[in-house]
């Protein structure tokens, strides 16, 4: 069989379900999902190899008007992903008109001359008649290469989406070994796991001023244990208190949950130590952003 590849960037405004879809398509809980906007900070590559074709999906941070330096880094990451893909999947939800910022993003995509596939996600929230009507209406407003409705949450219609994507595959040898799920370094996945548990447990209390950095990632000789030390950076002493919790209970909970997920991902035992540090206003400091790998 001739091998084929498809590089596809999943794009759209925050909260449209890009990360949920990526997880659904590759069948692994990889990208961070949270109801809070902008939980996806870097581009994430998910890989799926099926029937001789390798799909490489790039999940991008939500596209929005930049407010802080971190936001500007995010917008740049989104732009960078457009230059090396075969097509873009533009995600939105069932409605009849595009939002202001969606139009801007679509203009930018058409300037690149990329085929854009319209994906109306969250079709489970409306009747199939309404979903179809939205599809017809939105398809008319841009030169989309194709389009369909589906639900990333329950999986309905994602098989049709895969068939549509298939049409844009390009002949060539696969870029990654066929059992690859992602090209993200393990260290980075672990830091995202910790950040996800942090956001999950402190959902309402903690604003978005948190970053996680893996300081040590070391396999123990002659054993199946990996020792991992992570620093959790927050903006204020009061946040530090919240993260640590009464008698350290919150940090312990976050650490235990993150350890289990990390063990799942790495397929070995993990000894995870978390430390909480205050870095004032790290979101606006160029130095700290570079330091943390943004
Ligand atoms: P992203 O910001 O575009 O990456 O969006 P996420 O994948 O983080 O999803 C944002 C929110 O929308 C989460 O609460 C998801 O559970 C929810 N969501 C995603 N896909 C669907 C869907 O198909 N149906 C419904 N009802 N909710 C969804
Ligand atoms: Mg996301």
- Could you read off the pLDDT of 145-174 as tens digits, one per residue? 999 999 999 999 999 999 999 999 999 888
Q: Residue with the nearest Cα to atom 18 of ligand 1?
A: 17
Q: What does the pLDDT read at residue 178? A: 81
> What is the residue with the minimal CA distance to atom 2 of ligand 1?
15
CA-closest residue to ligand 1 atom 24: 122
Stronger pLDDT, 41 or 241, i.e. the higher one:
241
Neighbours of ion ligand 2 (CB under 5 A): 18-19, 40
For residue 69, the model assigns a pLDDT of: 54
More confident residue, 205 or 198: 198
Query: Confidence class of residue 175 from pLDDT cuts 50, 70 and 90?
Result: confident
Closest C-alpha to 157, from 179, 180, 182, 126: 126
Structural domain ending residue among the three candidates 171, 201, 217: 171
CA of 62 to the centre of ligand 1 (A): 12
Determine, yes or no, domain membership for 14. yes
Total of domains in the chain: 2
Ligand 1 is surrounded, with C-beta below 6 A, by 14-20, 33-35, 40, 62, 121-122, 124-125, 151-153
Q: Give, to the nearest 10 degrees, the angle between helix 249-266 and helix 186-201.
A: 140
Q: What residues pair up with 149 in beta bridges, in sequence order?
A: 120
Containing structural domain, residue 8: 4-171
Rounded to a whole number, what is the distance in angstroms from the first to the last CA of the chain?
40
**Which residues are CB-neighbours of 170 under 8 A, at least 6 positions away?**
4, 5, 6, 86
Closest Cα to residue 63, out of 134, 12, 124?
A: 12
Crossing angle between the packed helical segments 249-266 and 237-244, to the nearest 10 degrees: 70
Q: What angle do CA 195, 199, 204 make, to 5 degrees?
A: 160
Residues paired with residue 163 on neighbouring β-strands, in sequence order: none
pTM beyond 0.85: no
Are both 260 and 146 inside the same structural domain? no
> What are the phi and psi torsion angles at 58 (to 5°)?
-110, 115
The three-state secondary structure class of 122 is coil
* Domain membership flag for residue 233: yes
Q: Is residue 180 part of a domain?
A: no
Q: Is residue 124 in some structural domain?
A: yes
Query: How does pLDDT run across 23-62, given as a tens digit for each residue?
Result: 899 887 765 544 444 444 445 578 899 989 999 888 765 5
């Amino acid at each position: 069989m001739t091998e084929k590849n498809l590089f596809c960037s999943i794009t759209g405004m925050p909260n449209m379900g890009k990360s949920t879809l990526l997880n659904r398509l590759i069948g692994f809980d990889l990208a961070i999902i949270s109801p809070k906007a902008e939980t996806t900070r870097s581009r994430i590559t998910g890989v799926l190899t099926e029937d001789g074709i390798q799909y490489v999906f790039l999940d991008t941070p939500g596209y929005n008007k930049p407010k802080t330096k971190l936001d500007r880094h995010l917008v740049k990451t989104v732009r960078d992903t457009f230059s090396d893909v075969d097509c873009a999947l533009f995600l939105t939800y069932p409605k009849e008109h595009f939002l202001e910022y969606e139009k801007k993003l679509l203009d930018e995509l058409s300037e690149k001359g990329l085929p854009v596939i319209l994906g109306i996600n969250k079709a489970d929230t409306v009747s199939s008649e309404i979903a179809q009507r939205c599809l017809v209406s939105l398809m008319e407003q841009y030169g989309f290469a194709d389009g369909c409705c589906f639900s990333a949450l329950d999986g309905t219609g994602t098989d049709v989406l895969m068939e549509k994507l298939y049409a844009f595959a390009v002949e060539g040898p696969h870029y990654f070994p066929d059992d690859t799920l992602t090209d993200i370094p393990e260290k980075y996945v672990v830091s995202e796991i910790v950040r996800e548990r942090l956001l999950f447990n402190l959902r309402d209390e903690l604003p978005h001023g948190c970053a996680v950095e893996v300081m040590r990632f070391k396999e123990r000789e002659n054993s199946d244990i990996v020792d991992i030390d992570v620093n959790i950076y927050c903006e204020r002493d009061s946040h530090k208190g919240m993260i640590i919790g009464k008698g350290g209970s919150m940090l312990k909970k976050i650490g235990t949950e993150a350890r289990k997920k990390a063990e799942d991902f790495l397929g070995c035992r993990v000894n995870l130590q978390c430390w909480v540090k205050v870095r004032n206003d790290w979101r606006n400091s160029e130095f700290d952003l570079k330091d943390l790998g943004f």
